[in-house]
Chains A and B, each alone.
Chain A
Amino acid sequence: MATAEVATHHDDTRHHDEGFVKKYLWSTDHKIICFQYMITGIAMALIGGFFAYAFRMQLAFPGMEVPLWGVVTPGDYNALVTNHGTIMIFWVAMPVLIAAFGNYLIPLMIGCDDMVFPKINRLSYQIFLLSALVLISSFFVEGGAFAGAWTAYPPLSSTAEYSLTPLGSSIWLIAVALEFIAFLLGGINFITTAMNSRAPGMKLYDVPVIVWFIVIASLLFMASVGPLVAGAIMLLFDQNLGTGFFDPTRGGDPVLWQHLFWFFGHPEVYVVLLPAIGISAEIITVFARKKLFAYRTVLNTAIATGVLSFTVWAHHQFVSGIDPRMAHVFTISTLLISVPIAEMVFVYIATLYGGSITLNTPMLWALAFIGEFLIGGVTGIFLGASGSDIYFHDTYFVLAHFHYTFFPIAIIGTFAGITYWWPKMTGKMMNDTLGKIHFWGTIIPFNFIFIPLFVLGLAGQHRRIYNYENFPDLALDWMFDLRIMATVALLVMIAFQVVFFVNVFVSLRNGKKAGNNPWKANTLEWVAPSPPGHGNFEELPTVYRGPYEYSHPDREEDYWPQNEPA
């Protein structure tokens, strides 16, 4: 009993006056760890975004001296694309959506004072930070950063004389492995905390969807990452010890890596999708003043999608040399996933029915998530069907498709979450007008970046090619016009991000006081003070009902907090 106490509830860093280091850098408080993940993730997003800027400039204006970078050589181009993809997925989407929101929301929404293992939580962030530094260091070693694409297919990734990045490849792999360790540690906390520390009275079906989704996502991550870690160790051996797991001249097989990678890689999409779509659920119910349509159906669709996501990995390998008969199995399983995912989207749409909708900034982001994700979802069918994927594989159509899923997840979902929970996190309101300017300044250019890329993909433009002037069929004038359009739209979008940072700054200095529950929401985090202090709640709440009791006919008020006795 005594040890459990020390480990879980009375970590003494929390109850004394602390210096800056103890408070912000060495804290075990789940909220501080959220901010650490969030800030690191946003910093990495700026780096990943800067890479996108550099290679989009090259694509629109080949050979140009790109401001802040210089001429993008073919080697630079591959390194930029590789690290853009790696960073955006592993160092932006994962830390911000799973780790930051998971850390902040789980204890507050289930009504407890911290994670079950606060020190493991702190360690998880520290390993994550280390992994980010290791990755960045690869840009400064001999041969430069890894340039074999974020999928790291061997033998290109395994053999130094092919990749020409002898050190960069290994550093990249070590960074990714460290990052996985960080998220495994984080996930342990999320699952145990959500299952064991729920406030008195909170049954499993009273847990908000976002918490469920982060738990399901953590389980998916844990179940899928094993094979990839094994693969990473094998690849590291191939790189440095001269083994040949993936090298056919030494008895290995490069396709093996692809199976291991995608067995992880496909579920990974749902790992980051679930928290984002969960954020959307919380926001849409609050600003439509509606009960979530068929709560249990939503959970079932998430579980079904998660389970099915383990059966589809080889749809990434239709044309990469697997036995052609296998394609039929993976076409069927892939198309089956469209059913629960579509159902989930329908549930969100149905939730709006009969609502009383306020279109403020968080709601706009949450709705835009659904709208844009819809495009990502439907275009995936072209790639999941074996026959049509023969054409689309590795074209810009794929690229546009997955950015229509990842951008809503990583960027729209994050802004939705930040703008919605900002009053809780800081105690201040954000400016709604600035918020809306930032919203439209992001969403409109976003579509102008990626719709042209769908068109280029249909016209046969392949990915990861630094200069289309080398391909006569792809060097037509209208194609350059579309590339310029996409690049200009990116510059516009980058410019509008300034508005967000201005809003953050203005709100922190002069924002209106938020109070505990400015949105009149039901879930438990709004019971705590804004911002919540150590230990979160002044008095741990007791739960009497589910999280989405808005506009209940028996009540005058249109909301009914989970902790309010009947």
Chain B
Amino acid sequence: MIEYFLEQGSTYAASLDGVVNLIGVLVGFWFMASLGAFLFLIFRFRKKPNQKAQYVTGYEKHEARWVHWPHHLILVCDIFIVIGAVQVWVDIKQTLPEEPEAERVRIISQQWAWTFVHAGPDGKLDTADDIPMIDELHVEVNKPYIYELSSLDVLHDFSVPIFRLKQDSIPGRVITGWFEPTITGEYDIQCAEICGIGHGLMPGRIYIESSQKHAAWQAQQAPIALAATAQ
């Protein structure tokens, strides 16, 4: 359902959309079935002159099964949903990519801006060529990233809808997570946790670039960053 509105921009976007579709089909079925039965009964049993309603207690076996069977089936559906959801969850939130291939990026949120510290050409954080940027995150397509998310004041939330990624940042903690972009382009980063008056004015942008373009961007930024640290 989501992919109809938004591209799938990360390696795990498709599997998340898959769970959403699975849930959509299952609850869609139950919704249509219940609503259908409900409307049918309302129209079928409208009051007619001189006709008394039936006396049904709901305790006879053959009556009760109309309620009990569906609820066992719902339990079965729930099991499928749990399995699907847990798989996606483990992939997105619990499994980090291997390190030399994955690059680290530091994300610092504060009222009301994002600071993204990029590793720079050497691919490592906390070195002289780090590139800090305000409200702009530049990444390379098809490359895994590990982010280190922190906050300087209140709760914020790093959300990139095309990645299907969302994670609160919490002052006092550094939360690590990951993503791997699969398409190029320029997209919204939203702060998804209310963070004060400027909450609606905290839009970040993510620039997903091909490796050449990304290298060109780095080359352009590196002198500025080096100059800044030299001072």
Q: Is B193 an interface residue (CB 8 A)?
A: yes
In the complex, are the beta carbons of B199 and A460 less than 8 A apart?
no
In the complex, are the beta carbons of B200 and A553 less than 8 A apart?
no
Q: A342-B71, A381-B81, A467-B200 are in contact. Are A352 and B45 (CB under 8 A)?
A: yes
8 A–B contacts, CB within 8 A, in A order? A78-B194, A153-B193, A255-B170, A295-B58, A367-B42, A387-B89, A455-B5, A464-B199
Contact with B along A540-552 (1 / 0, CB 8 A): 0000000000111
Beta-carbon nearest neighbor of A468 in chain B: B200
A residues within 8 A CB of B115? Answer: none
The CA of A343 and the CA of B70, in the complex, are separated in Å by 8
Number of interface residues of A (CB under 8 A): 96
The CA of A295 and the CA of B63, in the complex, are separated in Å by 13
In the complex, are the beta carbons of B20 and A156 less than 8 A apart?
no
In the complex, are the beta carbons of A297 and B58 less than 8 A apart?
yes
In the complex, are the beta carbons of A294 and B192 less than 8 A apart?
no
In the complex, are the beta carbons of B170 and A321 less than 8 A apart?
yes
Say which residue of B52, B57, B78, B192 sits within 8 Å of A558 (CB atoms): B52
A residues within 8 A CB of B159? Answer: 394, 462
In the complex, are the beta carbons of B168 and A386 less than 8 A apart?
no
In the complex, are the beta carbons of A350 and B67 less than 8 A apart?
yes
In the complex, are the beta carbons of A328 and B197 less than 8 A apart?
no
Say which residue of B6, B31, B197 sits within 8 Å of A78 (CB atoms): B197
Say which residue of A156, A352, A386, A393 sits within 8 Å of B154 (CB atoms): A156
Beta-carbon nearest neighbor of A325 in chain B: B94
Beta-carbon nearest neighbor of A156 in chain B: B154
A399 CB to closest chain B CB (Å) equals 12
The CA of A164 and the CA of B191, in the complex, are separated in Å by 19
Q: A297-B58, A374-B31, A464-B194 are in contact. Are A359 and B46 (CB under 8 A)?
A: yes
B residues within 8 A CB of A295? Answer: 58
In the complex, are the beta carbons of B46 and A387 less than 8 A apart?
no
The CA of A560 and the CA of B133, in the complex, are separated in Å by 76
B residues within 8 A CB of A327? Answer: 89, 93
The CA of A332 and the CA of B89, in the complex, are separated in Å by 13
In the complex, are the beta carbons of A390 and B166 less than 8 A apart?
yes
In the complex, are the beta carbons of A320 and B168 less than 8 A apart?
yes
Say which residue of A288, A331, A388, A460 sits within 8 Å of B6 (CB atoms): A460
Which of B59, B85, B165, B187 neighbours the largest number of chain A CB atoms within 10 Å of its CB? Answer: B85
Q: CB within 8 Å of A: which residues of B?
A: 1-2, 4-6, 16, 19-20, 23-24, 26-28, 30-31, 34-35, 37-38, 41-42, 45-48, 51-59, 63-64, 66-68, 70-71, 74-75, 78, 81-82, 84-89, 92-94, 111, 153-155, 157, 159, 161-162, 164-173, 175, 187-188, 190-201, 203, 205
In the complex, are the beta carbons of B85 and A394 less than 8 A apart?
no
Q: CB within 8 Å of B: which residues of A?
A: 74-75, 77-78, 147-149, 153, 155-156, 159, 162-164, 248-249, 253-255, 288-297, 319-321, 324-325, 327-328, 331-332, 335-336, 338-339, 342-343, 345-347, 349-359, 367, 370-371, 374-375, 378-379, 381-382, 385-388, 390-391, 393-395, 455, 458-460, 462-467, 470-474, 550-553, 558
B140 CB to closest chain A CB (Å) equals 21
Beta-carbon nearest neighbor of A395 in chain B: B192
In the complex, are the beta carbons of A388 and B157 less than 8 A apart?
no
Q: A248-B173, A354-B45 are in contact. Are A346 and B58 (CB under 8 A)?
A: no
In the complex, are the beta carbons of A345 and B34 less than 8 A apart?
yes
Q: A346-B34, A374-B31 are in contact. Are A288 and B53 (CB under 8 A)?
A: yes
In the complex, are the beta carbons of B200 and A353 less than 8 A apart?
no
A residues within 8 A CB of B5? Answer: 455, 458-460
What are the 5 A-B residue pairs with the smallest beta carbon separation, nearest first? Answer: A248-B172, A387-B88, A354-B54, A294-B58, A460-B161
In the complex, are the beta carbons of A254 and B155 less than 8 A apart?
yes
In the complex, are the beta carbons of B196 and A386 less than 8 A apart?
no
Say which residue of B34, B88, B161, B198 sits within 8 Å of A388 (CB atoms): B88
Which of A296, A357, A379 neighbours the largest number of chain B CB atoms within 10 Å of its CB? Answer: A357
Say which residue of B34, B66, B89, B192 sits within 8 Å of A462 (CB atoms): B192
Beta-carbon nearest neighbor of B26 in chain A: A381
B residues within 8 A CB of A355? Answer: 41, 45, 53-54
In the complex, are the beta carbons of A342 and B30 less than 8 A apart?
yes
In the complex, are the beta carbons of B78 and A324 less than 8 A apart?
no
The CA of A395 and the CA of B153, in the complex, are separated in Å by 23
Q: Can you name 18 extra interface pairs (CB under 8 A) apart from A77-B200, A156-B195, A385-B81?
A: A78-B196, A291-B55, A294-B58, A294-B59, A297-B64, A319-B157, A339-B71, A355-B41, A356-B51, A356-B53, A381-B81, A387-B86, A388-B16, A390-B89, A390-B166, A394-B166, A465-B200, A470-B200
